[in-house]
Amino acid sequence: MGHEVVVGKPRLLDRVSAAIRVRHYSHRTEEAYVFWIRRFILFHGKRHPSEMGAAEVSAFLGWLATDRKVAASTQNQALSALLFMYREVLRIELGPVEHVPRARVPGRVPVVLGSQELRLVLERLSGLPRLVVTLLYGAGLRLQECLELRVKDIDFERGEVTVRRGKGQKDRRVMLPQAVRSDLSQHLDAVRRQHHADLAAGQGRVVLPEALARKFPGAPTEWRWQFVFPAGRICRDERWGPPSRYHIHESVIQRAVTTAAREAGVTKRVGCHTFRHSFATHLLEAGYDIRTVQELLGHADVGTTMMYTHVLNRGGLGVRSPLDRL
């Protein structure tokens, strides 16, 4: 008989989580990898992955593409999770994964808001969601990058925000918009008061990557390590050790943006990433060099940044129609 994987509390998935944390991958990556490995195991009737190989991986990926009709990026994420499990946890050389129906990559252009649309949406946001969204648009941040900012990452004197371990585990610096500095400063004053109250109550810890917490035992209670956008309550999840304060959940901002866009009467599909798309497009419209925009966005390849040229009045769409010359 083969090894049966008990999905309720699987030892294999615990090993996967441990391997991910040792490599300092993000919590979201851990959640995604564990999810896809669990789906893979269930798809094959709870067989242990050590008893399977490239053929079973191909069958699973093909099912995702043909039956589940997932996006190409989703299929690639599932493949990355399985490759990680085999290489880094099971230490098995999987070999080439062949004959996989590939999910189609849609040729979509990003949704971009005009200046008036941006104003209408921002007018319907208030408090913390408005502050977060102004940073998403004003600095071109991804939502998770913004929520994971620490106090030490905000430099008011230099007018900079440092994004730590962004997509691809890369750091980068972006501008701190002048228009948001006053509100952000007042917000941090309130966060500091909350932190002092936590300390007085014997709390005041913040979640840190495991290696940092071990190397600097006092860091979790230091002000500079606190999240800029902390959660409203203490987290008592065993994964993070002692009771700690995490950052607010992304769904709080996502719901606020959806509601604001609907109330503003914007017919475009607006999500948190729309503000990053708008940031990049508006910079290019203002005449900034595409390499500069690439650096601010943290794109490894300028080809990724080039997609924003498709929504500019340049190239083929920027040509004046001969009809208008008559």
Among candidate residues 48, 167, 172, 310, the one labeled active-site is 167
Helices 272-285 & 250-264, crossing angle to 10 degrees?
Answer: 70
Going by their DSSP bridges, the two strands 172-175 and 160-163 should be labelled as antiparallel
167 is catalytic: yes
269 is catalytic: no
48 is catalytic: no
Among candidate residues 130, 205, 282, 299, the one labeled active-site is 299
Amino acid at 170: K
Instruction: For 258-301, give the DSSP string.
Output: HHHHHHHT--S---HHHHHHHHHHHHHHTT--HHHHHHHHT-SS
Structure tokens at 51: 């008893």
Furthest-apart CA atoms within the chain: distance in Å: 81
314 is catalytic: no
280 vs 288: CA distance, rounded Å: 10
Q: How is residue 88 annotated by DSSP? A: I
247 is catalytic: no
Helices then strands, counting H and E runs in the chain, come out as 14, 3
182 vs 72: CA distance, rounded Å: 42
Among candidate residues 205, 276, 277, 282, the one labeled active-site is 276
The CB-side HSE value for 258 (13 A sphere, CA atoms) comes to 6
Among candidate residues 124, 130, 142, 247, the one labeled active-site is 142
Among candidate residues 39, 172, 273, 310, the one labeled active-site is 273
Structure tokens at 112: 């971009």
User: Residues 44, 60: contact at Cβ < 8 Å?
Assistant: yes
74 vs 273: CA distance, rounded Å: 17
Q: Is 173 helix (H, G, I), strand (E, B) or coil?
A: strand
86 is catalytic: no
With the CA atoms of 57, 60, 61 and 64 taken in that order, what torsion angle do they form, in degrees rounded to the nearest 10? Answer: -170
Catalytic annotation, residues: 142, 167, 273, 276, 299, 308
